[in-house]
Chains A and B, each alone.
Chain A
Amino acid sequence: MTTWRDACLVRRIVAHDPARFGVVLRAGCGPVRDAWLAGLRARLAAAVPVLRLPPQIDDGRLLGGLDLAATLASGAPRLERGLLAAADGGLVLLPLAERHGAATAARVAQIMDTGGIAVERDGLQDWCATRFAIIALDEGGGAEEATPAALRDRAAFWLDLDAVTPREAGCDAEAPPRAAPHGPVAVADAILAALCAAAACLGVASPRAVLFALDAARAIAALDGRDAVADEDAGTAARLVLGPRATIVPDTGDAPAEAAADPDPPPSSEDAPGDDADRLPDRLPDRLADRIVAAARAALPRDLLDGMPAAAASAAAAAGRSGGRAPATGGGRPTGLRPGMPRPNARLDVVATLRAAAPWQRLRSRAPGRIAVRSGDFRVIRTERPIRSTTIFVVDASGSAALHRLAEAKGAVELLLGESYVRRDRAALIAFRGRAAEVLLPPTGSLVRARRGLTAMPAGGGTPLAAGIEAGCAMAATLRRRGETASVVLLTDARANVARDGTPGRLRAQADAAAAAKALRAAGIPALLIDIAPRPSADARLLAAEAGARWLALPQADAVLLSRAARTAAAA
Chain B
Amino acid sequence: MRTGAPAAKPLARAATFPFAAIVGQEEMKQALTIVAVDPRVGGVLVLGDRGTGKSTTIRALAALLPPVRAVAGCAYHCDPADAAGLCAACRATPRGRRRAAMVPVPVVDLPLGATEDRITGALDLEQALVHGVRAFQPGLLARAHRGFLYIDEVNLLEDHLVDLLLDVAASGENLVEREGLSVRHPARIVLIGSGNPEEGDLRPQLLDRFGLSVEVRTPDTVPERMEVVRRRDRFERDPARFAAEWDAAQQALRERIAAAREAIDGIDVPDGPLAHAASLCLALGADGLRGELTLMRAARALAALEGQTAVTDAHLRAVAPMALRHRLRRDPLDEAVATTRVARAVDELLAA
A359 B118 Cβ-Cβ under 8 A: no
Contact of A123 among B11, B123, B180 (CB under 8 A): B123
A205 B49 Cβ-Cβ under 8 A: yes
- Assess whether A418 is interfacial by the CB under 8 Å rule: yes
- Against A, the Cβ 8 Å flags (1 = close, 0 = not) of B289-331 are 0000000000000000000000000000000000000000011
Smallest CB gap from B236: residue in A: A211
Report the minimal beta-carbon distance from B261 to chain A, rounded to whole angstroms: 28
Which one of B81-89, B192-200, B344-352 contacts A?
Answer: B192-200
- Against A, the Cβ 8 Å flags (1 = close, 0 = not) of B183-210 are 0000000000000111111000000000
Please provide the chain A residues from 308 to 342 with a CB less than 8 Å away from any CB of chain B in the complex: 317, 319-320, 322, 324, 333-337
B109 A118 Cβ-Cβ under 8 A: yes
Given A106-B153, A418-B332, A446-B201: A279 in contact with B220 (beta carbons within 8 A): yes
Report the minimal beta-carbon distance from B210 to chain A, rounded to whole angstroms: 18
B229 A210 Cβ-Cβ under 8 A: yes
Please provide the chain A residues from 74 to 108 with a CB less than 8 Å away from any CB of chain B in the complex: 75-77, 79, 102-103, 106-107
Contacts of A118 in B (CB 8 A): 11, 109, 111
- Assess whether A129 is interfacial by the CB under 8 Å rule: yes
- Assess whether A509 is interfacial by the CB under 8 Å rule: no
B14 A106 Cβ-Cβ under 8 A: no
Given A114-B14, A115-B14, A123-B122: A102 in contact with B199 (beta carbons within 8 A): yes
Distance between Cα atoms of A208 and B49 in the complex (Å): 12
Report the minimal beta-carbon distance from A457 to chain B, rounded to whole angstroms: 15
- Assess whether B137 is interfacial by the CB under 8 Å rule: yes
Smallest CB gap from A200: residue in B: B222
Distance between Cα atoms of A59 and B53 in the complex (Å): 26
Contacts of A446 in B (CB 8 A): 197-201
A355 B122 Cβ-Cβ under 8 A: yes
A-B contact count (CB 8 A): 223
A110 B232 Cβ-Cβ under 8 A: no
Please provide the chain A residues from 204 to 232 with a CB less than 8 Å away from any CB of chain B in the complex: 205-211, 214
Please provide the chain B residues from 131 to 158 with a CB less than 8 Å away from any CB of chain A in the complex: 131-134, 137, 139-140, 152-153, 156, 158
Contact of A207 among B13, B228, B237 (CB under 8 A): B228
Please provide the chain B residues from 3 to 57 with a CB less than 8 Å away from any CB of chain A in the complex: 3, 11-14, 49-51, 53, 55-56
Report the minimal beta-carbon distance from A362 to chain B, rounded to whole angstroms: 3
Smallest CB gap from B9: residue in A: A125
- Assess whether B340 is interfacial by the CB under 8 Å rule: no
Contacts of B335 in A (CB 8 A): 447-448
Report the minimal beta-carbon distance from B316 to chain A, rounded to whole angstroms: 28
- Assess whether B271 is interfacial by the CB under 8 Å rule: no
Distance between Cα atoms of A311 and B153 in the complex (Å): 24
B113 A63 Cβ-Cβ under 8 A: yes
- Assess whether B268 is interfacial by the CB under 8 Å rule: no
Contacts of A279 in B (CB 8 A): 220-221
A320 B198 Cβ-Cβ under 8 A: yes
- Assess whether A120 is interfacial by the CB under 8 Å rule: yes
- Assess whether A174 is interfacial by the CB under 8 Å rule: no
Report the minimal beta-carbon distance from A259 to chain B, rounded to whole angstroms: 17
B115 A122 Cβ-Cβ under 8 A: yes
Report the minimal beta-carbon distance from A349 to chain B, rounded to whole angstroms: 10
B156 A192 Cβ-Cβ under 8 A: no
Given A121-B115, A211-B229, A281-B222: A129 in contact with B153 (beta carbons within 8 A): no
Given A71-B129, A207-B232, A358-B129: A121 in contact with B12 (beta carbons within 8 A): no
Distance between Cα atoms of A334 and B137 in the complex (Å): 23
Please provide the chain B residues from 108 to 124 with a CB less than 8 Å away from any CB of chain A in the complex: 109-119, 122-124
A280 B123 Cβ-Cβ under 8 A: no
Please provide the chain A residues from 120 to 162 with a CB less than 8 Å away from any CB of chain B in the complex: 120-127, 129, 149-150, 153
Q: Chain B, interface size: which category?
A: 35 or more
Given A121-B114, A207-B232: A320 in contact with B49 (beta carbons within 8 A): no
Given A123-B137, A356-B179: A448 in contact with B11 (beta carbons within 8 A): no
Report the minimal beta-carbon distance from A440 to chain B, rounded to whole angstroms: 15
Report the minimal beta-carbon distance from B107 to chain A, rounded to whole angstroms: 13
Contacts of B116 in A (CB 8 A): 336
B117 A123 Cβ-Cβ under 8 A: yes
- Assess whether A197 is interfacial by the CB under 8 Å rule: yes
Report the minimal beta-carbon distance from B302 to chain A, rounded to whole angstroms: 27
Smallest CB gap from B55: residue in A: A113
Contacts of B111 in A (CB 8 A): 63, 110, 117-120
Contacts of B129 in A (CB 8 A): 71, 75-77, 358, 361
Report the minimal beta-carbon distance from A84 to chain B, rounded to whole angstroms: 10
B13 A114 Cβ-Cβ under 8 A: yes
B198 A317 Cβ-Cβ under 8 A: yes
- Assess whether A264 is interfacial by the CB under 8 Å rule: no
B200 A334 Cβ-Cβ under 8 A: no
Distance between Cα atoms of A405 and B304 in the complex (Å): 53
- Assess whether B275 is interfacial by the CB under 8 Å rule: no
Contacts of A447 in B (CB 8 A): 201, 332-333, 335
Given A110-B153, A205-B51, A451-B333: A285 in contact with B222 (beta carbons within 8 A): yes
Smallest CB gap from B159: residue in A: A333
A207 B12 Cβ-Cβ under 8 A: no
A196 B222 Cβ-Cβ under 8 A: yes
Given A75-B130, A76-B126, A205-B49: A192 in contact with B229 (beta carbons within 8 A): yes
Report the minimal beta-carbon distance from A234 to chain B, rounded to whole angstroms: 13
A355 B123 Cβ-Cβ under 8 A: yes
A211 B233 Cβ-Cβ under 8 A: yes
Contacts of A113 in B (CB 8 A): 55-56
Could you show 18 A-B contacts with beta carbons less than 8 Å apart? A75-B130, A77-B1, A103-B112, A103-B156, A120-B113, A120-B118, A124-B118, A125-B3, A153-B50, A207-B51, A210-B225, A324-B156, A359-B134, A362-B131, A362-B132, A422-B330, A445-B201, A447-B332
Shortest 8 CB-CB contacts between residues of A and residues of B: A362-B132, A206-B51, A115-B14, A358-B128, A127-B11, A120-B118, A120-B114, A123-B125
Residues of A within 8 A of B (CB): 59, 62-63, 66, 71, 75-77, 79, 102-103, 106-107, 110, 113-127, 129, 149-150, 153, 184, 187, 189, 192-193, 195-197, 199-200, 205-211, 214, 271-272, 277-281, 285, 317, 319-320, 322, 324, 333-337, 352, 355-356, 358-363, 414, 417-418, 421-422, 445-449, 451
